[in-house]
Amino acid sequence: MEATAKPLLIPPQMAVYAEEHQVFDILQNMVQNLLMDRPDDPVQYLIHHLRKDNDGVPRIVVLGPPASGKHTMAKLLCKRLNATHLTPENILSNDVSALVEEALSYKGKDQEIPDVLWARIIQERLSEVDCAKRGWVIEGFPQTREQGLLLQMNGISPDHIVVLDAPDIVLIERNMGKRIDPTTGEIYHTTFDWPEDPEVQKNLVEPAGISEEETGKRLLEYHRNILGILRAFPKKYKKINADQPCMDVLSQALTYVLSKPRSLAPFTPRILLYGPPGSGRSLQAALLAQKYDIINVSCGQILKEAVADQKKIGQLIEPYIENEQQVPDNLVLRVLGDRLSRLDCTTRGWVLHGFPRDAEQAALLNDAGYIPNRVFFLDIPDDVAIERLSLRMTDPVSGERYHSLYRPAPRVDVHRRLQQNPADSEQKVQARLDMYHASAEELEEFYQDVIHVNADQDPHTVCEFIESCVVKPLPKRIPGEPPSP
C-alpha cells in the first residue's frame, strides 16, 4: 500500500491486547527461566511454566537489623498479599526433606549450616505449591553477600527487597523489651505491644540474646554484611525508616512491593488528558509530544482539519462547527479513529485531549479499540480557571495571546487593540465548568486507574509529574481490593 496516497492504518486492538495480556513480559520470563533451568525438553518445560501462571506473584525479601520489626512486617505483608511467610527457622521444620535433615545434623553438632546447603533448601521450599502459586516473603535471609549470590545461582531472585533501618540506640532499646510466648511463638514488647490477656502475660518469657552487649554484637555483624548483600541485588531494594509507627512502615513497604519493576517490553504511550477549561491540557500535550516524539491529537483541531480538507466527512461536520454546535459522536469517532489508527500513532504513541468529555463518549472510544494506558485529570479550582481564561486576550495584528496578570501586552498600542474571544467571557467559562463537573465523576469511574494532577502550578512542574507517571509501570493491585483512583 502506498503510504503517501493513503495512510497505512493499523488496528488498535493489536497493541492493546499485547499490553493487557503482558505478551512481551510473558515471553521474557519464559526465555529467562528456560536459560536458567536448561531443561532437556524445552517445549514441555515452557508448557508447564505457562500452566503454573505465577509470573505475577510476590517475591519479597525483608531484611533489617535486630529489633527493626522484620517479623512483624513480613507477617503483615503476607496477610495483605496472601503470600507464604518464610523464615530460616520455619524452613527447617520440614521433617520430610533430606536436605533439611542434613542441615539439622549440622545444628545438632553446633556447626554452621553451609551456605550452599541453605541455597538448596530454600530452592526446594520455594518450589512447593504454596510458594509457587501464592508467592513468598522471606524474612531475614540472606544474611551475607555469599548467600545472596548463591540464591541467584540457584535461580532465586526476589523482585523487591524491603530493608528496614533505624538508629542502633533505638534498636537496642526495642530488643531489650522483647518477650516471647513459648506456646505460640508470638513476639510481644513490654512498651509497644503488650498483650491484653493476663494469661498470655504470665506465659511470656525473655528470649536469649537480648542484652545490650549481645544486641550490639549482632548489630555490628549486620552492618558488616548489609552493604555486600545490597550490592548483590542492585536496584531491587528500598530502605524504609523503621523508627515510626508500624502502619506507616507497612504503607511505605506496600507502596514499594506493589510497584512493578521496569519491563524490557516495548511501551507505546496512549495518554488521555482530561480537565476543566483553563487547566492546560493543550500545553501539556504539546510539551509531552515535543519531548517524547508522540503524536499530539487535539480533537478540536482534527475536526477543523477535516473541514479544511473538504472531504465528505468534513462537509458533514462543517455545519455544526459554523453554528457552534457539538459535532455528533459518530462523526467525531470516524475522524478520531482515522487519526489514531495511522502508523505514526500506532508506533510512536499519542496524547489525546478534547475527547471524550463524558462516560458515554469514553465507552464509544473504548469500543472502537482506542484504550488509553494512562489517564490524567488536570485539577484546578474554578476561580483559577476563570482567572486564566477571562483575563486572556489576543492581538489581532500579530496573533499573539496575552494575559492581564501573567503576560501583559508589552506596549500601550498593543494593549489597546487586544480583543477577547467571546467564549472566554466569565459567564461562558462558568457554563463550561458546570458541564465539566457534571461529567467528571462518571468519567473517573469509567477509567479506573485515573491519576490526578495538581495543575495549579508551574506548567513544567505539572509536565514532570505526568512524565514520571508515564515512564513508570502502574502499581500492582492488592488481591481482593478495588483499584485505587
Q: Which residues contact 252 (CB under 8 A, 6 or more apart)?
A: 240
C-alpha 274/C-alpha 423 separation (Å) is: 19
Residue-by-residue DSSP string for 120-179: HHHHHHHTSHHHHHH-EEEES---SHHHHHHHHHTT---SEEEEEE--HHHHHHHHHTEE
Q: What is the pLDDT of residues 467-484, one digit of tens each?
A: 988 887 766 666 555 444
CATH of the domain at 235: 3.40.50.300
CA atoms lying within 13 Å on the CB side of residue 424 = 16
Residues 294 and 148 in one domain: no
Q: Answer yes or no: is 229 within a domain.
A: yes
Residues 157, 286: one domain?
no
The predicted model gives 352-356 an average pLDDT of 93
User: Does residue 441 form part of some domain?
Assistant: yes
- Please state the rounded mean pLDDT for residues 351-365: 92
Is residue 40 one of the residues assigned to a domain?
Answer: no
Examine the domain organization and report whether 193 and 282 are in the same domain: no
Interval 166-204: pLDDT, tens: 998 888 888 777 778 877 777 777 777 778 888 887 888
At position 377, the amino acid (one-letter code) is F
Do 253 and 280 sit in the same domain of this protein? Answer: no
> What pLDDT, on the 0 to 100 scale, is given for residue 457?
92
Question: Of 257, 279, 309, at which residue does a domain stop?
Answer: 257
Could you tell me if residue 38 is inside a domain? no
pLDDT at 317 (0 to 100): 86
The answer on 275 and 242 residing in a single domain is: no
* DSSP, residue by residue, 75-135: HHHHHHHT-EEE-HHHHTT-TT-HHHHHHHHHHHTT-PPPHHHHHHHHHHHHTSHHHHHH-
Q: Are residues 220 and 253 in the same domain?
A: yes
Which of these three, 202, 226, 257, is where a domain ends? 257
Residue 112 to residue 74: CA distance in whole angstroms: 25
Domain with 457, as residue range(s), is 270-471
pLDDT band at 267 (very low <50, low <70, confident <90, very high): confident
Q: What pLDDT band is residue 351 in, cutting at 50, 70 and 90?
A: very high
Please, which residues bridge with residue 180 across strands? 187, 205
Residue 16 has pLDDT above 50, yes or no: yes
Per-residue CA distances from 471 to 183, 215, 335 (Å) = 50, 43, 29
Residue 224 predicted with pLDDT over 90: yes
**240 and 342 part of one domain:** no
Q: Is 162 exposed, middle or buried (0-12, 13-18, 19+ CB in 10 A)?
A: buried
- Which of 225, 219, 209 is CA-nearest to residue 176? 209
pLDDT digits 0-9 by tens, 96-118: 788 988 988 988 888 899 999 99
The kind and range of the H/E element at 249 are helix 246-257
Residue 157 is predicted with a pLDDT of: 86
Q: Which of 225, 257, 289 is the last residue of a domain?
A: 257
264 — pLDDT class (breaks 50, 70, 90): low
The predicted model gives 41-51 an average pLDDT of 83
Q: Is residue 337 part of a domain?
A: yes
Residue 442 CA to residue 445 CA, distance in Å, equals 5
**pLDDT class for 10, splitting at 50, 70, 90?**
low
Query: Is 52 inside any structural domain?
Result: no
For residues 175 and 111, state if they share a domain. Answer: yes
Name the grid cell of 317: 461536520
Is residue 241 situated within a structural domain?
Answer: yes
CA distance 156 to 158: 7
pLDDT score for 121: 93
Considering the domain architecture, whether residues 242 and 288 belong to the same structural domain is answered as no
Going by pLDDT thresholds of 50, 70 and 90, the confidence category of residue 290 is: very high
CA distances from 443 to 199, 217, 449 (A): 55, 58, 11
pLDDT of res. 254: 92
> How high does pLDDT run on average in the chain?
85
- Co-location of 148 and 181 in the same domain: yes
- Which range has highest mean pLDDT (224-238, 300-314, 410-424)? 224-238
The answer to whether residue 316 scores a pLDDT higher than 60 is yes
- Which amino acid, 389? L
Strands 401-403, 392-394: pairing kind: antiparallel
Q: How many domains does the chain have?
A: 2
> Would you say residue 37 lies in a domain?
no
What per-residue confidence (pLDDT) applies to 380? 93
Q: Which uninterrupted H or E stretch holds 285?
A: helix 281-292
Instruction: Give residue-wise pLDDT tens across range 385-404.
Output: 898 888 888 888 888 888 88
Write the pLDDT tens digit of every residue in 124-134: 998 888 888 89
Are residues 102 and 129 both part of a single domain? yes
276 in the same domain as 220: no
Upstream peptide bond of 328 is cis (omega within 30 degrees of 0):
no
